[in-house]
Amino acid sequence: MTFRAVAKKTAILLVMLIATAGVVAPATSAKASKPPVQWIDLSGTASQRPKLIFFSANSGSQVNSIKWTGWGKNRAIGRGTYLVTSPPPPGEENPTGPARVVVWKPISCVPDFGNREGKRIRIYRHARMLRPVREGGRKWVDISAFTGYLTCR
């Protein structure tokens, strides 16, 4: 092999290594810089993959035993049990049954209070819930106000 052939192969190898490093390095560092997606409950506690979502401060609607798929991605789905802990109207029963929570569009947030006060986190901006209704059947309800984005500055 001549000197020229060896130099040419070495140059090609160096160019390939530099090109590979330039493509791989930014992709891994960009993923590492994103904080995890959280859910901020009514008391200001931020947590990942909440097992329980309250819709009132003391007694009222809630979804418990939630199991999530896709948490942290652009869209996640949680499945749990919907129930109402406040007393029902006279002669009626509170609805209870399976619930599905769909959340999407993670956004950056710095909460004004709670366990992540002043720290940059990500939360889901939109959420909808498919829940049972008293008359029978199920209906979709917008629960975006309960994701915690209202606490963000």
Asked whether residue 64 falls in the same domain as residue 122, the answer is yes
Please tell me the total count of domains within the chain.
2
Q: How confident is the model over 85-123, as pLDDT tens digits?
A: 999 889 889 999 999 999 999 999 999 999 999 999 999
Asked whether residue 23 falls in the same domain as residue 98, the answer is no
Asked whether residue 95 falls in the same domain as residue 131, the answer is yes
Asked whether residue 26 falls in the same domain as residue 78, the answer is no
Asked whether residue 132 falls in the same domain as residue 90, the answer is yes
Asked whether residue 15 falls in the same domain as residue 75, the answer is no
Asked whether residue 25 falls in the same domain as residue 56, the answer is no
What's the pTM? 0.76
Asked whether residue 68 falls in the same domain as residue 102, the answer is yes
Q: How confident is the model over 8-35, as pLDDT tens digits?
A: 666 676 666 576 655 555 555 555 578 8
Q: What does each C-alpha distance from 66 to 69, 89, 119, 129, 141 come to in angstroms?
A: 10, 27, 26, 12, 17
d(CA 73, CA 89): 40
Range of the domain at 137: 37-151
